[in-house]
Chain A
Amino acid sequence: MLPSITETVCALDACDRLIATDRFSDWPVQVRALPKAGGLVDAEIEMIVRLKPDLVFLGRSQQITSRLSELGISSFVLETRSYADIERSVTVIGQVLGLQDRAARLKDSIAHAVREVAWQAAPRSQRGGPTVYFEVDPGPYAAGTSSFIGELLAMLGAHNIVTADLGPFPKLNPEYVVRYDPQVIFISPAEAPHLKERPGWDRIRAVRERRLCSFAPDVRDTIVRPGPRVAEGMRSMADCLKREAP
């Protein structure tokens, strides 16, 4: 019931064991044809019961978990907040599906790919990477240093202006971003043209010099979904950092 879980199951070559997914799972392509059982807030319990799954993987949702258990359907809750959680999820899903060996290989390959992207960015990080601000939503909600996105940015040598004590995805006072004047801003393509209109934001270095990283929806998915494609998302961020803050 989460795209990152669907992607992990398929990365373990167990796509054929999926009988349905949540409505947002769209990768790899073959899962698009599977029945869609709603989302975490509006799961279609009736459809899930009809499909008779052996197990439902889902994110934290007390309501669905208790309803499924009342109906005699086993469920397994996975919560992914940090980078370590991504590796842990792979291991756990592998164990539950009886694919420990594949899970160990997948975990190693993710870690290897992430290390490789970080290694390629190493020369730049040693010179002192740029200060960055990653906006998740125009609240403005930011990805802080303690979120998995923040951890990946740190591996790329970027200095997140949103410190760990503010939590993974804090809602900031917009003047905070103006005060810390980031050199690069990660922002959705829809919001990027409107940054200048925010009071005082036209003075921020990243906005003044147009050092903005925006990604198309499919690329953004690889960045914001804490799943097996995390290194791919990290590479997109690294490429943008290389382009905007060489």
Chain B
Amino acid sequence: MNALPPALAGPRVASGAAGARSRLAAWLFCCLLVTLLLTGAGLIVGTSSLETSLGWLLAPDAQSSVVLWQIRLPRTVGAWFAGALLGLSGAIAQGVFRNPLAEPYLLGTASGAALGVAICLIAADASIGGLAWAGKLGVTGAACIGACAAITLTITLSRGVLQTASLLLAGIVVAFLLSAMTSLLLLTKPEIWRAMQTFLLGSTGFISWSSAILLAAVFCICIVPASLFARGLDALTLGEDTAQSLGLSLPALRVTLLGVISLGTAAAVGQIGIVGFVGLVAPHLVRETLSVNHRQLVIAAPLCGGALLQAADLVSRWIVRPEELPVGAVTACVGGAYLVILLWRRSRND
């Protein structure tokens, strides 16, 4: 862990100085401003030219109203909440596992969701009697159930949530096992491959108002316990023994925060598929620019993650319009490049 650059290490605990606090306030304000600008851009960017979109905004007809308010706005709002959930889950995962490379999919959620979707697509396509229920679930429901099943399996295998190492190991084992099962299913039914690829690379294209509201509700549910238990994560950075000697109840902390990660990730994966790097990069972007403790991080990381996914969504619909790039591919390119720059800069400074 020592070899890792400081920006990839745990959060720097703020000194409590007024300067740091005002810097955080300015940062949060900027982030909100960027989000507002991106939301505005989300209304303009699509299959039409910018001039046409602006014309629609000024003088909408029946069809352009549908495009603007039923497609583009829920899509951009939903992308923000999905990004926020991934950012929040990433920040908590890095705190709970005390590992700067931890990310929301660590417990096998992504592989579980992918397997759920594969089963659903096959059942819907082939109308297999016993699996008809899976076809009716739809991709979203199947992904959510798959993600939850994977987490349950991971926790069962690691016999609870108290041992970090066995939890991580179980997560990796479950992820590999479920991915292998998905690959086997794909081999026997290659016609679902393209639909599967859409899910595996993430897509914000079909976010409706009901999806956006669901994501918003899950975000509200997750942010409360995350904020309440964030102080415990600060104590945990000093080591498990020290944290317990400070009166911290480790089991309660872990159960609650792993619950938040699971719920947040399952909801996001269910609605937009597997979008990598947002959960990993958002907390690092915050730490790179600010000195924050975990209470501040669980507010700042979702704001950052939301804006990141909104921006990636805009890029995915703009570059090859009226076609679309998978949003997960965009986040992977941008996030990967950012991590490389970060590592390079730190190694040069060292």
Which residues of chain A from 168 to 208 have any CB-CB distance to chain B below 8 Å in the complex? Answer: 170-176, 178-179, 181, 188, 190-191, 194, 197-200, 203
Asked whether B242 is an interface residue with its Cβ less than 8 Å from the other chain, the reply is: no
Distance of B185 from chain A, by nearest CB (Å):
13
Q: Chain B at the A interface: mostly helix, strand, loop or mixed?
A: helix
B197 contact set on A, CB distance < 8 A: 139
Count contacts on A: residues with CB < 8 A to the other chain.
32
Known: A175-B71, A178-B71, A179-B47. A199 touches B187 (CB 8 A): no
**B66/A200 in contact, CB under 8 A:** yes
Asked whether A39 is an interface residue with its Cβ less than 8 Å from the other chain, the reply is: yes
**A203/B125 in contact, CB under 8 A:** no
A173 contact set on B, CB distance < 8 A: 46-47, 205, 317, 321-324
B190 contact set on A, CB distance < 8 A: 24, 39, 41
Task: Give Cα distance in the complex from A41 to B194, angstroms.
Answer: 14
Distance of A235 from chain B, by nearest CB (Å):
22
**A172/B208 in contact, CB under 8 A:** no
Asked whether B232 is an interface residue with its Cβ less than 8 Å from the other chain, the reply is: no
**B321/A197 in contact, CB under 8 A:** no
B227 contact set on A, CB distance < 8 A: none
B208 contact set on A, CB distance < 8 A: 197-199
Task: Give Cα distance in the complex from A138 to B273, angstroms.
Answer: 13
B326 contact set on A, CB distance < 8 A: 171
Task: Give Cα distance in the complex from A138 to B139, angstroms.
Answer: 11
Please name the residue on chain B nearest to A204 by beta carbon.
B66
Question: How big is chain B's contact interface, by range?
Answer: 35 or more
**B324/A199 in contact, CB under 8 A:** no
**B66/A178 in contact, CB under 8 A:** yes
Identify the interface centre among B48, B207, B323: most chain A CB within 10 Å of its CB: B323
**A199/B75 in contact, CB under 8 A:** yes
Asked whether B209 is an interface residue with its Cβ less than 8 Å from the other chain, the reply is: yes
**A175/B67 in contact, CB under 8 A:** yes
- Of the candidates B72, B74, B187, B195, the one whose C-beta lies within 8 Å of that of A137 is B195
**A41/B187 in contact, CB under 8 A:** yes
Task: Give Cα distance in the complex from A174 to B321, angstroms.
Answer: 11
- Of the candidates B138, B194, B205, the one whose C-beta lies within 8 Å of that of A174 is B205
A136 contact set on B, CB distance < 8 A: 194
A217 contact set on B, CB distance < 8 A: 125-126
Asked whether B296 is an interface residue with its Cβ less than 8 Å from the other chain, the reply is: no
Chain A residues within CB distance 8 Å of chain B? 23-24, 39, 41-42, 136-141, 166, 170-176, 178-179, 181, 188, 190-191, 194, 197-200, 203, 217
A-B pairs with beta carbons under 8 Å apart, 8 shown: A137-B195, A140-B205, A166-B322, A173-B317, A173-B324, A178-B67, A190-B124, A199-B209
